[in-house]
Amino acid sequence: MDNAIQQKLDFLKLDPDNPNLLAEVADYYIKQGGLDDASSYIEQGLKVSPEHQSLIFVKGTLAIASNKADEAIKTLEQLKFDIGTAPEVRYNLAYAYLLKGDALQSRDELLPIINEPQVLPAALLLFARACHHLGEMDDAENYAGEYLKQFPSDAEALGVMALIKLDIEAEDASEWAEKALSLNENNLEGLVTKGNVALTNLDKYDAAPYFEKAVAAHGRSGRAHAGLGLVHMSNLNLDKAKEALEKAVKFMPQHIGTWHALAWSQILSGDLHAGKQSFKSANEINRNFGETYGGLAVIAALEGKIDHARELSKKAIGLDGRSFSARYAQSLIIANAGGGERATKMIEKILDSEVVEGAGSLKGMLLKLQKNPQHKNDYTKKH
């Protein structure tokens, strides 16, 4: 404990209800990870000064640190109403919205301050994250770059840039990830980027350690669990694939690609009912995504419901003329393979091979879907 905070604690013994001191001490404990201690000081202060702005602000900060996004938003929205557009309040509020998975509201909260001459540097990086989640890749790359001009050795920012580069399929994504990992070996974005680059290069053995390390250090990262699930799928270790992908959709419930990966792992396991439910979950997110209807067409074909499979595959191709799953459903229909063990074995063979020339492989399709930037629920507080 440094001298400054010890001095404040000594002053509190003389003036135990001083709201400014209580707020400062609580803020110190939040930064040190002492959330219970921070909560006690905040509660003590609000009993005697329920409208004290510094205490309310620190209460919102504590809610963020505790991953209680809704509580943080409720607290900070009231504070914003009371004191106007203080940049620190907007930043924390934007952080809370992104923690909740509302990247659009997070970005909009930062818009009034992001281009101000005295902008909070951290706001640049948070804005880049929000834009990345929204698929606004030019802004994501530009604002991450602006932050890195000021802090070129910031591991978190280097990792964010690596992930952006991965999702725009830039050749230097791996280089950015290596920079991040050289400063912090557990950097989430760096690990996920390196893992995905390895998977893209069809090196599942090189990919696995990155995702395993990411999951171990960041257990709430949907993207880390999704990558590990794809590695297990590549090895046809379907039980582990399903386990990892079920965790991934828990932490990224709004990401279509992860629901698709889970559905295919379930299909490969022969659990067509579960696969159907996963595709239906994907359809609830976006009802105009061709691959979802193509996946449902594959299941219908495997169930022997050929007319329904034709109907679904036609709809899928109408939405996406290059739909992999729809083309595969058509191959099942043509082969009259629906409903048997033979059909399941056929699916296993397509992980690394094309069913129709130009349609790609199942692995390639799933990797492409995983790199969709709209991972709306994959942002967690870094302590």
Terminal CA-CA length for the chain: 18
Query: Is pLDDT above 70 for 379?
Result: no
Closest CA to 320 of 253, 241, 260: 260
**CA separation for the pair 66, 72 (Å, rounded):** 9
Hey, what domains does the chain have and what are their CATH numbers?
Answer: 263-370 (1.25.40.10)
List, for residues 252-305, the tens digit of each pLDDT value: 998 999 999 999 999 988 899 999 999 999 999 999 999 999 999 999 998 999
Residues 6+ apart with CB under 8 A from 380: 67, 99, 218, 220, 221
Cα(286)–Cα(255) distance, rounded to whole angstroms?
Answer: 10
Q: Cα–Cα distance between 187 and 106 in angstroms, integer?
A: 23
Average pLDDT of the chain to the nearest whole number: 88
43, 100, 114, 176, 382 from 85: Cα distances, Å: 25, 21, 12, 35, 25
Q: What is the pLDDT of residue 47?
A: 94
Residue type, 282: A
Q: What percentage of the chain has pLDDT greater than the value 70? A: 87
Task: Establish how many alpha carbons lie within 13 A of residue 170's alpha carbon, considering only the half-sphere containing its beta carbon.
Answer: 18
pLDDT in tens, 316-363: 999 998 888 888 888 888 876 544 555 555 555 555 544 444 445 676
**What contacts 205, CB < 8 A, 6 or more positions away?**
none
pLDDT band at 147; cut points 50, 70, 90: very high
